[in-house]
Structure 1
Amino acid sequence: MILKERHQPPEILQLESLLQRVPIVHPLFPHWTEQLRRMSAGFHGEQRVDSLFYEIPIETPHYFIQDLYIQKPKSSHQIDTVLVTSRFVLLLEIKSITGELNFDPQLRQFSRTNKDGSVDGMNNPDDQIRRHEKFVQQFLASQKVSLPVIGVIVFTYPSSIVNSRPKNRIIIQSSGLPFLMDQLLVKYPDELLNTRKARQLAGRLLQLHSERPLRRIEVPAGLRRGVLCRKCDKILQYDKRSWRCGQCTYKNPLAHLDVLLQYRLLISETISNREFREFTGLTSISTASKMLTSLNMETKGSFRDRIYLIPEVFR
Structure 2
Amino acid sequence: MTLKKYLNRNHPTYPELEKDLAKRWAGYWGEAALANYVKELPQEKYLILHDLQLQLYDTHFQIDTLLIAPTHSLIIEAKNIIGTLYFDNIFNQLIRINPDGTEDSFEDPRTQCRRLQSLLKRWLIQHNLHLLPIDYLIFFKSTNKTILKTNGTTIDTSRICKGRDLFSKIEGIEKQYKQVKIQAAKWKEIAQYLVNQHTPQQVDILQEYGLTVNDLPWGVLCQDCTHLMHYQKGIWQCPKCHSVSKDAHIEAINDYLLLIKPTITNQECQTILHLPTSDVTRRILISLNLPTTGHTKSRVYHQWAGDKCYQFIEEKIITQRR
> Which TM-score applies when normalising by structure 1?
0.83
1:46 partner SS: helix
Is the 2:220–2:273 Cα contact (8 Å) retained in structure 1?
yes
Corresponding residue for 2:198? 209
* Distance in structure 2 (CA, Å) of the matches to 1:182 and 1:303: 64
For residues 280-314 of structure 1, the C-alpha deviation after alignment (integer angstroms, 9 at most, x for no partner) is 11112011112212323233444323332234524
Is the 2:77–2:137 Cα contact (8 Å) retained in structure 1?
yes
The answer for unaligned runs of 5 or more in structure 1 is: 1-15
2:267 aligned partner, one-letter code = R
Q: 2:230 aligns with which of 215, 223, 237?
A: 237
Taking every aligned residue pair, what percent have the same amino acid on both sides? 26
Is the 2:56–2:123 Cα contact (8 Å) retained in structure 1?
no
Moved more, 191-200 or 247-256: 247-256
Q: Pairwise CA RMSD of aligned residues?
A: 2.6
Do residues 161 (structure 1) and 153 (structure 2) align? no
For residues 80-112 of structure 1, the C-alpha deviation after alignment (integer angstroms, 9 at most, x for no partner) is 111111222110111111223333334333333
1:304 partner SS: helix
Corresponding residue for 2:170? 181
* Distance in structure 2 (CA, Å) of the matches to 1:29 and 1:157: 31
Do residues 80 (structure 1) and 64 (structure 2) align? yes
Q: From the superposition, tell whether residues 25 and 140 of structure 1 become closer, same or farther in structure 2 (CA, over 3 Å).
A: closer
Corresponding residue for 1:104? 88
2:150 partner SS: strand
* Distance in structure 1 (CA, Å) of the matches to 2:72 and 2:175: 12
Q: From the superposition, tell whether residues 262 and 59 of structure 1 become closer, same or farther in structure 2 (CA, over 3 Å).
A: closer
Corresponding residue for 1:219? 211
Q: CA deviation at 1:59?
A: 6.1
1:153 partner SS: strand
Corresponding residue for 1:38? 23
* Distance in structure 1 (CA, Å) of the matches to 2:183 and 2:242: 59
Moved more, 242-251 or 255-264: 242-251
For residues 103-138 of structure 1, the C-alpha deviation after alignment (integer angstroms, 9 at most, x for no partner) is 333433333332223222323322221122123334
2:193 aligned partner, one-letter code = R
Moved more, 284-293 or 129-138: 129-138
* Distance in structure 2 (CA, Å) of the matches to 1:137 and 1:36: 31
Q: 2:32 aligns with which of 35, 43, 47?
A: 47
* Distance in structure 2 (CA, Å) of the matches to 1:235 and 1:250: 11
For residues 230-282 of structure 1, the C-alpha deviation after alignment (integer angstroms, 9 at most, x for no partner) is 11222223344343334446443322121022213333332221111111111
Is the 1:237–1:244 Cα contact (8 Å) retained in structure 2?
yes
* Distance in structure 2 (CA, Å) of the matches to 1:277 and 1:108: 53
The higher relative CO (CA closer than 8 Å, separation ≥ 6) is in 1
Do residues 254 (structure 1) and 281 (structure 2) align? no
> Which TM-score applies when normalising by structure 2?
0.81
1:36 partner SS: helix
Corresponding residue for 1:24? 9
Is the 1:103–1:110 Cα contact (8 Å) retained in structure 2?
yes
Q: From the superposition, tell whether residues 205 and 116 of structure 1 become closer, same or farther in structure 2 (CA, over 3 Å).
A: same
Q: From the superposition, tell whether residues 160 and 276 of structure 1 become closer, same or farther in structure 2 (CA, over 3 Å).
A: farther
Q: CA deviation at 1:161?
A: 2.0
Q: 1:283 aligns with which of 276, 281, 292?
A: 276
Number of aligned residue pairs: 299
Corresponding residue for 2:318? none
